[in-house]
Structure 1
Amino acid sequence: MYSFRKSAFALLLILLIVLAGCQNPANTASQGAINGESVSLSSIASVIDKTPEAAGSLSNPKNTSAQLATKTLADNQLTPSLVKVSSSVTMGKVSALRMASAESGWIGGDGWIARTDDGGKHWKIQYHGSGIVKQIFALNNQDAWAVTDKAKLLSTSNGGEHWVLTGKMPNEGFLHFVSKNEAFSGNARTTNGGKNWSTLPVPKQTVGDAYFHDKNNGWAVIQNNGMGIVERTQDGGKTWKIVMGLKLISPLNGAVIRSAGTDDAWVEWIGDYGMTQNSYSLFHTSNGGKNWQTVLANSTAGGGPAPGFQEEFDGPKNQGSSPGPLYVLNHNVAYMGGDCQACDKPNTVGRTIDGGKTWVNEKVSFPGFGGALLAFSDINHGWWICTDNSDPSVLYTTSDGGTHWKKIYTFPRPKQTS
């Protein structure tokens, strides 16, 4: 009798455990995928206030994405969270592009990231979440990062098989990693992969974003008393030195800086605009600012003379009436798109392979009124995506440095919003 009661009790206990398990199933982890003339600076320093000024506190926007379901641990530090890929996600308008090699790379759009390993012929969606992907940076074929318009920083260390939420972006500057842990975005620096960011001092009246090649060497564009000026730091922003200055007819409306080495800087000045036209200039130095080469000086009827020039410059010009994307490959090779909103085929591209001494405008143009994206893995292989707000984005590729381009992939038509 005792044995029977014992057995019955054991069976009852097992039944209760089973019922409890059905009501509270275990959670499973979700996973997914100037022409070469040196510039005298003695007359500039007397009219410039060179006192560095800290950029102030970095923004720390709240993360509202239910898709990523993360938890704040400290300022700009989040728990990593794997993101599941939904089978219903489709690619649309492309908003970000980065090559890792001639065959491999990533693109991003509204709530998605995709990868190709066959030069763009086929794509696999690896990430699904909220927010438009604004930037992608690849350190190599495995380590990459993506930035969304919601200031989220995503990362992968296995080629995109898994993307995780790494942190929050401190600003909207150009993100570039120099190692797996160290990166820069404008005047912000991280040493732990984007979990936390510190601020580097920049000069007063900085136009656009400063650019730090590494923790010591950085560049900034300022304007003061009718002068456009480039300054350089070699001690992480503690002190800045004027390395170029030119008179301006009208104020600068923006600046873009890229660097391919400690003493290398490509500096784009964006000037006035009107009639869908924008004047701009591109300068290059490879010796720390001792000498400068005028790479481009595009004057326009609507935008007036190129910044830094008192009249139209009789020198190299890019196609189009406004600047397109700038992509610097190394200290000799750089590409820039051109944009012409009044043209049937607005998108053009040009390049230099000798540090800006000469400029070649390629004899191709493509449709798309939504802007263009440009990336190169080496001097021969590049991708060019032309976008539109109503027509599909199209990927073109080159294997001869941009002389010839071939249409490789047409993405789905973007969703129309009412």
Structure 2
Amino acid sequence: MAPNLVWAEGYQKDRFVLVRTLNSGRTWQIMQLPMQPPSYPVTAAAEADWKSGYPELYANNERDLWIAWRDIDKPVVWVEYTHDGGASWRVASIPVNEAASVVGQFAFINARTGWLVVESYGASEQSDKWMYHTSDGGSTWHLVYSTSVDAPRLLAGTSQHLTFRTASHGFWLVADPIRPGISLYQTDDGGFHWQRIFVSVPIEYAHDVTVSVWGPVFSKTSPNQGVLAVDFYTSEPQPTMNLAVYHTKDGGATWRYVTTRNIPSEYGNCTFQFFNTSC
């Protein structure tokens, strides 16, 4: 992404707005979208009814950007996208399962090839998931995977992060407070089939549950190098969060726990993002 260009989204007077700066934040321009996502009060009220109209944004670079949200009144996900930095926009619709009520994550490897996750609301943070794929930049989307047909079901928990290294090789990281261990899955066929990867848990966190996960993120200059992070939670002897970082040198085939220092681990919300993973 261009160093001076930043996209941001949010609500202004209850109306969803997408803004862009071309000068590192000194001035901002409101983008005119062909379709307006639901207002904040409408979206907040729908969430109480197990629906979510909150938009999900993904910027691949200064030109290519996608926004998706679930229609509150009918089982459709709307995708608005631009390939010229917001000068022009197009809209696509994805018919979804009635239970698919939350737009999760985007992942793109270039301007044309990408994936989108839609989830259901689920008890104990156990959701069904649907994954859609596009090969034309967002104009058409096709279902490639659904956990609702698995027996026994894979990918239990809630979707947290989706990463594709190539058109066929990708990773899906799920936060599952019920299943022990780290729920990291891998595909080698573009998302049609997923297999859980073994990631060892430090002995001191062996009885904890995973509540938040980030990554994997891979280096653009050394693509076999990558990192992921996991928040382990325990309630004994008192509620505590512990952040664990993992590193791979072989493109995600194996992951090694990295001893870290000076990373906050107290109980509460945590935000973690990798900006440079060229190890």
Distance 2:80 2:180 in 1: 41
* CA spacing shift, 1:350–1:369, aligned 2, 3 Å: closer
- Match for residue 380 of structure 1? 224
Identity of aligned residues (%): 18
* CA spacing shift, 1:251–1:395, aligned 2, 3 Å: closer
Aligned partner of 1:241 among 71, 84, 91: 91
Q: Is the 8 A contact 1:380 1:401 kept in 2?
A: yes
Deviations 1:60-85 (CA, angstroms, capped at 9, x unpaired): xxxxxxxxxxxxxxxxxxxxxxxxxx
| 1:335 matches 2:153 | no
Distance 1:336 1:290 in 2: 24
- Name the aligned partner's letter for residue 132 of structure 2: F
- Name the aligned partner's letter for residue 173 of structure 2: G
* CA spacing shift, 1:290–1:240, aligned 2, 3 Å: closer
State the SS of the aligned residue for 2:254: coil
Q: CA deviation at 1:349?
A: 0.8
Distance 1:351 1:416 in 2: 30
Q: CA deviation at 1:315?
A: 9.3
- Match for residue 19 of structure 2? 188
Distance 1:319 1:336 in 2: 9
Distance 1:247 1:386 in 2: 30
User: What is the TM-score of this pair, normalised by structure 1?
Assistant: 0.46
Mark the runs of 5 or more structure 1 residues left unpaired by the alignment: 1-177, 299-311
- Match for residue 49 of structure 2? none
Computing the radius of gyration over CA atoms, which structure comes out larger, 1 or 2? 1
Higher relative contact order (CA 8 A, sep 6+): 1
Deviations 1:27-52 (CA, angstroms, capped at 9, x unpaired): xxxxxxxxxxxxxxxxxxxxxxxxxx
Distance 1:269 1:394 in 2: 27
Distance 2:29 2:200 in 1: 42
- Following superposition of structure 1 onto structure 2, how do residues 50-65 of structure 1 map, counting pairs within 5 Å? none
Q: Is the 8 A contact 1:293 1:356 kept in 2?
A: no
State the SS of the aligned residue for 1:372: strand
State the SS of the aligned residue for 1:392: strand
State the SS of the aligned residue for 1:327: strand
| 1:210 matches 2:77 | no
- Following superposition of structure 1 onto structure 2, how do residues 16-55 of structure 1 map, counting pairs within 5 Å? none
* CA spacing shift, 1:194–1:342, aligned 2, 3 Å: same
State the SS of the aligned residue for 1:184: strand
* CA spacing shift, 1:386–1:213, aligned 2, 3 Å: closer
- Name the aligned partner's letter for residue 283 of structure 1: Y
Mark the runs of 5 or more structure 2 residues left unpaired by the alignment: 10-17, 38-52, 234-239, 269-279
- Match for residue 130 of structure 1? none
* CA spacing shift, 1:283–1:416, aligned 2, 3 Å: closer
- Name the aligned partner's letter for residue 204 of structure 1: Q
* CA spacing shift, 1:330–1:188, aligned 2, 3 Å: farther
Q: Is the 8 A contact 1:391 1:414 kept in 2?
A: yes
Q: Is the 8 A contact 1:216 1:237 kept in 2?
A: no
- Name the aligned partner's letter for residue 399 of structure 1: K
State the SS of the aligned residue for 2:232: coil
* CA spacing shift, 1:388–1:363, aligned 2, 3 Å: closer
User: What is the TM-score of this pair, normalised by structure 2?
Assistant: 0.66
Q: Is the 8 A contact 1:296 1:318 kept in 2?
A: no
- Following superposition of structure 1 onto structure 2, how do residues 56-75 of structure 1 map, counting pairs within 5 Å? none
- Match for residue 131 of structure 2? 282
Distance 1:324 1:283 in 2: 16
Q: CA deviation at 1:391?
A: 4.8
Q: CA deviation at 1:212?
A: 4.1
* CA spacing shift, 1:252–1:373, aligned 2, 3 Å: same
* CA spacing shift, 1:315–1:290, aligned 2, 3 Å: farther
The alignment's C-alpha RMSD in Å is 3.2
| 1:179 matches 2:2 | yes
Q: CA deviation at 1:269?
A: 1.1
Q: Is the 8 A contact 1:270 1:280 kept in 2?
A: yes
State the SS of the aligned residue for 2:136: coil
Q: Is the 8 A contact 1:219 1:230 kept in 2?
A: no
- Match for residue 398 of structure 1? 248
| 1:226 matches 2:77 | no
- Following superposition of structure 1 onto structure 2, how do residues 99-178 of structure 1 map, counting pairs within 5 Å? 178=1
Distance 1:290 1:180 in 2: 28
The number of aligned residues is 225
| 1:261 matches 2:114 | no
Distance 1:251 1:319 in 2: 15
Q: CA deviation at 1:182?
A: 1.8
